[in-house]
Structure 1
Amino acid sequence: MRWPERLAALALAAAAAVAQGTPDAAALYQTHCASCHGADRLGGMGPALVPENLGRLSPEKAARVIAEGRAATQMPAFGDRLGADEIEALARWIFAPPPAPPAWDAARIEATRRVLVPPERLAKAPRHGADPLNLFVVVELGDHHISILDGDRLEVIARLPTPRAVHGGPKFSPDGRFVYVASRDGWIIKVDLWGLERVAEVRAGINTRNLAVSDDGRYVMVGNYLPHTLVVLDAADLRPLRVIPVVGRDGTSSRVSAVYVAPPRGSFIAALKDVREIWEIPYSSRAEALPVYEGPMHDYRADSGEAPPLAEGAFPVRRIPVGTFLDDFLFDPEYRFLIGASRQSRTARVVHLAVGREIARIDLPGLPHLASGITWRWRGRRVMATPNLREGVVTVVDLQDWKVVRRISTLGPGFFLRSHEKSRYAWVDVFFGKDRDVVQVIDKERLEVAATLRPAPGKTAAHVEFDRHGRYALVSVWDMDGAVVVYDARTLQEVKRLPMRKPSGKYNVWNKITRSEGTSH
């Protein structure tokens, strides 16, 4: 059952339960929940409590959270204050749809915006001695912080609080000075890596997937699950510039799986969860020179009718129809081709972005995690490689003929694959397997596993990232008493271990802003 159908079934069941004379759940909510989750259930300090935002949580699990609280969050336990029937009523009530569909328009976004450090108070030069382009931003999910790590001395130089549940990976301004961080609850924060401080924040959605930053540094685009929108923010102060409803040609409203930036094209590209379309939204006049705006399949839409391409602030939408739902993308280095994965298919689809149509299919069973794929030169040809979320395999594909070159067996399904143009190795975790405490190191020339490392036996190892020079490979030990473990990228020997609170992703400034060969973009 697809999520919209499951959501409808849950909502009907919840509405029936509410109508059966159970305790007054609405009154209980206002008394015990509204201060954190919002009087309208759209979130505040806590997440939104509406059916579309509850993921795969069931009413039974929700009742347990209400009764027992949730560790490492500000969610308290109510089991000593509410009776079992009251807890059950609350749990079922949040799965009933609110009186009006959740909305988060430009006015509501603007009302949440705060500029914490005005431009005149920004640091005039870095307030630290580290190489600004060899910093890492480390997301610590355990206690909702980011750590700023000096990639040369391998020391933490700052630690800053974030909203809960950071998701989608921080993104950098083109010069690497600023980093933008998104949370699942829609909060976007802007951090100055010179001054080591938060400088602005805004809530751009109710349930957000990720963000992307234009390569001219002017715009941030946010992709939302709820409401079904793409939001354009001014990168300078996070002011909302445009809210784009995401509706397919057939009128179907769609969640946004992810939004990407395609720098050579001067555009954002959005993956849509519920319609068979890819959206491209140009932001730069460079896009006018690209042969992408001709033919009947290209449809520019604005909120109030047709909009001319690249009119200031228009952000027109180009629709590319595809044969299935594609919600995970990888691009070739020149951004000529988009490779998209579908949860319903054994094949990945290759879309030629200039032509605007599918040109090939790749035999990729399971569930390839293309957003974590990488490319490199192999025997004179460009290849891509992707881990797989369902099978223990890394698949290597020739980007000229779209044929599978090799399937490299691993100890289990993996989440992240990383390398560096100066390294002979690609590193992959086994995030979903029984051996999730290992990372495996693949020889990029021989296309085989060269080493298996176990950073912390019994604890999940994940997300390798290299420093800008390719000297070090950093691995997360995904645990509340976790660590970032630093390896010599050539000898594969441990160099240092930095204690952290459930570190997840680590993002190197230089590798991200230069679109390094071994990292995702």
Structure 2
Amino acid sequence: MNKNKKTHFLTTILSIALIGHVEAASDNMHQLYQDNCASCHGSDHGGYLAPALDKETLKGRSPTALRTLIMTGSFETLMPPFYGKLSDDQIRAMVKHLQSTPKLPNPAWTIDDMKASLQVYVKDESTLPEQPQYAIDDMDDLIGVAARGKYGRGSGSKAVFINSKTHQVVGEIPTGTAAHIIDFNPANPRWAYVKTDTAEIFKVDLYSMKAVRSIKTGFNGPGMGVSRDGKYIMAGSFVPHNAVILDADTLEPLKTFELEGIDPDGNFVSSDSGMIIGTPYADIFAIALENAGQVWIVDLKDGFPVTKIKNVGRHLHDAFLTHKGRKLMVASYDDSIVAAIDLAERKLIKKLPAGCVPHVGGGAAVKVDGRVLGFGTNFGTCDKTVVSVWDLDTMEVIKQIPVSGGTESPAAHANAPYVAVDIISKDRRARTIQLIDKKTLEVVKTLDVGGHAYFPEYSADGKFLYVSAGYSGDEVVVYDAFSLKKVTSIPMESPAGIFSHGRVKYMTRGLSPDEME
């Protein structure tokens, strides 16, 4: 081989080696991102619970500032400090990776992928106990807490179940990544379903406190509902843009839906999944297409046909039910309204003012002086930080109650005197919840919970109010619902959503079953 050919050969080999090294480094950073960032910022870099992290959104940002933020975390958010968890070299490489990576294309996760992900932990469910293996008077006394874990994954990521009369933990289900939603089977009190931020669903036997099956339905997305007969689950994803109906017994996927359609501005879009909800009113699911501004009603019969309600609002997200599950109140972030939908007539009834970026959480409604009043919280990204109150029969705004900051999730109970709302401002106010008197519709008390106070929930009997003091407090705090005195606290790593088993009976938080009309 002559000298020139030898030089060219060596250069080619070095180039191939260098390309391979760069590709390997890129793959490593992609995996590092998936393992540490994706559960909050989205597996496609496009945002989820936290903002998008891609070269477009981070354009012009100082690499030093980004490195500092990763090292120290952000107190006012879910983000913990990564100093000590990641090396300085890893953090520097991550900053470069984020500032050079575009939002990734919508990845495929097919029904075959879902089937392949199905895991069975208890093959013969007849071997499970016939009654709870712990002291509890009524299964409705159970409260489930979705614990995120400090880094959104690890041993602290679990669903924790508490007897709300004794405030004792009676079971924990490890989920690997951050638990997000806990739903219960309306037809059989022994079954619960836990969905994580990385779209795994666990079927949980509440009698033995064991996970019996799990399936991965996507990469990110919290949406999940259970049908009134307990036969079906519907789950939706942010990534990819689809939803699936599962057999609630086996978790076998039965049908997938591509979430796409014409948005209120006339554009054809592929859409994230917003809320999914089953209803005691009928054998249907309702699902919000966040970006398409549509609500689909899926009938639970052969073929799972879909009725599409269009032009509901821009950027739909969460919702709650009223009128024994016949009416659906859906939050529209970008239009600052809550849209009322009649599920029987399958049409939009009215769009109600709801403050800035409404987020209704699990919803709250109370019956006062013969009227059923609904309460809507909002993120408060303008100066108008209010809780909206509507007459749910006339669908009129009754009052907008000034509160001390943005709010995320209201809680009420027929037997408790107050509607509780969590304050989510980026300062010490985030440690607080505010209590609204149901009769006067005025804020009468502010409680400093400690940590970041989120997701209040009443026990099934209405005697106690549970609040997550997470992200820096690492405990669930329990208050007497009448005196508002602290009763106890339960240690937990980054607790978030709280879900009473009693919801399967009253559906709308704040109304007893006979008040659902």
Pairwise TM-score range, normalised by the shorter structure: 0.7 to 0.9
Q: Within the alignment, does 1:246 sit opposite 2:259 as a pair?
A: yes
Separation of aligned partners in 1, 2:419 and 2:478: 15
Contact 1:66 1:87 in 2 (8 A): no
Match of 2:23 in 1: 26
Deviations 1:409-434 (A, max 9, x none): 21111111111111121111212264
Structural RMSD (CA): 3.3
Match of 2:501 in 1: 509
- 2:260 is paired with a residue of what secondary structure? coil
Q: Within the alignment, does 1:320 sit opposite 2:309 as a pair?
A: yes
Task: Return the letter of the residue paired with 1:441.
Answer: L
Q: Within the alignment, does 1:358 sit opposite 2:348 as a pair?
A: yes
Q: Within the alignment, does 1:268 sit opposite 2:285 as a pair?
A: yes
- 1:207 is paired with a residue of what secondary structure? coil
Match of 2:53 in 1: 57
Aligned counterpart for 1:375 among listed residues 349, 359, 365: 365
- 1:445 is paired with a residue of what secondary structure? coil
Contact 1:42 1:50 in 2 (8 A): no
Match of 1:293 in 2: none
Question: Please, what TM-score do these two structures have when normalized by structure 2?
Answer: 0.80
Between stretches 50-59 and 230-239, larger displacement belongs to: 50-59
- 2:478 is paired with a residue of what secondary structure? strand
Q: Within the alignment, does 1:470 sit opposite 2:462 as a pair?
A: yes
Contact 2:411 2:509 in 1 (8 A): no
Contact 2:363 2:509 in 1 (8 A): no
Separation of aligned partners in 2, 1:343 and 1:455: 27
Shift of 1:88: 5.4
Deviations 1:79-105 (A, max 9, x none): 3479x5x6555335543646xx51000
Match of 2:130 in 1: 124
- 2:179 is paired with a residue of what secondary structure? coil
Task: Return the letter of the residue paired with 2:147.
Answer: E
Match of 2:208 in 1: 195
Q: 1:160/1:408 Cα in 2 relative to 1: closer, same or farther (>3 Å)? A: same
Q: 1:202/1:152 Cα in 2 relative to 1: closer, same or farther (>3 Å)? A: same
Q: Within the alignment, does 1:159 sit opposite 2:164 as a pair?
A: no
Task: Return the letter of the residue paired with 2:313.
Answer: T
- 2:261 is paired with a residue of what secondary structure? coil
Aligned-residue identity in percent: 26
Q: 1:42/1:499 Cα in 2 relative to 1: closer, same or farther (>3 Å)? A: closer
Shift of 1:180: 0.9
Q: 1:492/1:352 Cα in 2 relative to 1: closer, same or farther (>3 Å)? A: same
Q: 1:453/1:36 Cα in 2 relative to 1: closer, same or farther (>3 Å)? A: closer
Task: Return the letter of the residue paired with 1:190.
Answer: K
Match of 1:413 in 2: 406
Between stretches 333-342 and 460-469, larger displacement belongs to: 333-342
Contact 1:67 1:87 in 2 (8 A): no
Contact 1:214 1:267 in 2 (8 A): yes
Deviations 1:343-397 (A, max 9, x none): 2324433333333333323232312222342111122111111112114321111
Between stretches 212-221 and 315-324, larger displacement belongs to: 315-324
Match of 1:395 in 2: 388
Match of 1:139 in 2: 146
Separation of aligned partners in 2, 1:519 and 1:73: 43
Question: Please, what TM-score do these two structures have when normalized by structure 1?
Answer: 0.80
- 1:208 is paired with a residue of what secondary structure? coil
Task: Return the letter of the residue paired with 1:104.
Answer: W
Contact 1:47 1:185 in 2 (8 A): no
Task: Return the letter of the residue paired with 2:115.
Answer: E
Q: Number of paired residues?
A: 463
- 1:56 is paired with a residue of what secondary structure? coil
Separation of aligned partners in 2, 1:150 and 1:257: 30
Shift of 1:318: 0.9
Contact 2:241 2:259 in 1 (8 A): yes
Separation of aligned partners in 2, 1:317 and 1:488: 44
Q: 1:66/1:134 Cα in 2 relative to 1: closer, same or farther (>3 Å)? A: same
Where do 5+ consecutive residues of structure 1 fail to align? 1-20, 284-309
Q: 1:91/1:317 Cα in 2 relative to 1: closer, same or farther (>3 Å)? A: same
Separation of aligned partners in 1, 2:374 and 2:116: 43
Match of 1:79 in 2: 88
Contact 2:67 2:95 in 1 (8 A): no
Task: Return the letter of the residue paired with 2:175.
Answer: T
Between stretches 478-487 and 501-510, larger displacement belongs to: 478-487
Separation of aligned partners in 2, 1:35 and 1:440: 39
Q: 1:186/1:367 Cα in 2 relative to 1: closer, same or farther (>3 Å)? A: same
Separation of aligned partners in 1, 2:322 and 2:84: 43
Aligned counterpart for 1:102 among listed residues 95, 103, 107: 107
Contact 1:22 1:89 in 2 (8 A): no
- 1:29 is paired with a residue of what secondary structure? helix
Shift of 1:160: 2.6
Where do 5+ consecutive residues of structure 2 fail to align? 1-17, 74-78, 150-155
Match of 1:432 in 2: 425
Separation of aligned partners in 1, 2:404 and 2:42: 38
Match of 1:288 in 2: none
Match of 2:481 in 1: 489
- 1:417 is paired with a residue of what secondary structure? strand
Match of 1:171 in 2: 183
Contact 1:25 1:89 in 2 (8 A): no
Separation of aligned partners in 1, 2:393 and 2:103: 50
- 1:446 is paired with a residue of what secondary structure? coil
